């Protein structure tokens, strides 16, 4: 007999067991610890009252983590992980989990559900399609590690102006891509930095926000770029993107790791093309899926 409990009603140990067994044999090592599980819940804005764990008797056998945000007046949820223990897979447990999850989300007034799935994970994608999810875009996780032999950024300093802002301010722009994947939204840019590109009349032409990480000695070791977008009607969109990337990454002479998570290759096509021209490599591919509840 399968029993579903909200994560808030489970112990931390039960949650960790559900996660680790649910993601056993996954495409990458997703094993977690109690400390890292809590850290993930906080960093990803996941909700214990919207997340669930499946039990058989007293044994955790599956999990769904959910978070919720309000975007443009609508309540949006993100599935931050659905896993089923190996011996219970292909037995309908995944559908039970998702159906139970939707019941809770509906009670909370959630209107749109979103998730990402590894592009090669055809079983998961098929399950999500069968319960009403549609593929919104294809995503790529991009990476560029180390120095470049020459600066790929053109000298555009005299053409545009740069204003340093908080990511929250970017979220107020009319052309901000609020429905890009969850982990690229400004709320996920914890301790992040933002940039407006402006013309001489103080009009915002584009934006970017990112997070830099430093080691214990204060050395810059990595930068994660969450979004980098020009206004869609700009004929100089590519130049704006290059200018933004120059503000974020400098002259690419630093020996750091640069990552761009979950970039939509259709809805952010111009940014994707520029990053590939510079030399960013594809590390992982996913599909971005949306369902109206």
Tell me the CA distances in angstroms from 246 to 28, 116, 156, 243, 278, one per residue in order: 32, 29, 9, 5, 11
Mean local confidence (pLDDT), 18-37: 94
Tokens of 161: 């102006």
pLDDT interval class at 154 (50, 70, 90): confident
* Tens digit of each residue's pLDDT (9 = 90 or more) over 120-134: 999 889 999 999 999
Q: What is the pLDDT of residue 26?
A: 86
Secondary structure of residue 5 in the 3-state scheme:
strand
* Tens digit of each residue's pLDDT (9 = 90 or more) over 161-174: 999 999 999 999 99
Mean local confidence (pLDDT), 232-242: 95
Q: What is the pLDDT of residue 155?
A: 72
Residue 89 contacts residue 43 (beta carbons within 8 Å): no
Statement: residue 157 has pLDDT above 70: no
The values of phi and psi at residue 269, to 5°, are -60, -45
């Amino acid at each position: 007999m399968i029993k579903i409990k909200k994560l808030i009603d489970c112990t931390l140990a039960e949650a960790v067991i559900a996660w680790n067994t649910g993601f056993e044999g996954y495409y990458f090592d997703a094993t977690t610890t109690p400390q890292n599980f809590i850290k993930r819940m906080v960093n990803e804005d996941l909700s214990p009252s919207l997340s669930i764990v499946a039990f058989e008797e007293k044994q955790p056998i599956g999990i769904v983590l959910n978070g919720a945000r309000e975007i443009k007046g609508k309540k949006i949820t993100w599935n931050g992980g659905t896993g089923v223990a190996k011996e219970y897979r292909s037995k309908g447990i995944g559908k039970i989990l998702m159906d139970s999850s939707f019941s809770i989300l509906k009670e909370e007034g959630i209107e749109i559900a979103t998730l990402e799935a590894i592009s090669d994970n055809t079983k998961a994608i098929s399950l999500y399609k069968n319960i009403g999810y549609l593929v919104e875009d294809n995503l790529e996780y991009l990476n560029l590690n180390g120095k470049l032999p020459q600066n790929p950024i053109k000298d555009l300093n005299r053409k545009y102006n740069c204003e340093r802002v908080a990511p929250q301010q970017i979220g107020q722009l009319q052309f901000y891509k609020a429905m890009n994947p969850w982990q690229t939204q400004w709320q996920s840019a914890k301790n992040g930095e933002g940039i407006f590109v402006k013309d001489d009349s103080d009009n915002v032409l584009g934006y970017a926000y990112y997070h830099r990480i430093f080691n214990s000695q204060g050395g810059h070791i990595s930068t994660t770029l969450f979004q980098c977008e020009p206004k869609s009607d700009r004929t100089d969109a590519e130049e704006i993107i290059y200018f933004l990337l120059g503000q974020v990454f400098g002259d690419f002479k630093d020996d750091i790791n640069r990552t761009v998570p979950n970039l939509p290759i259709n809805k952010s096509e111009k940014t994707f093309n520029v990053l590939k021209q510079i030399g960013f490599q594809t590390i992982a591919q996913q599909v971005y899926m949306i369902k109206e509840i």
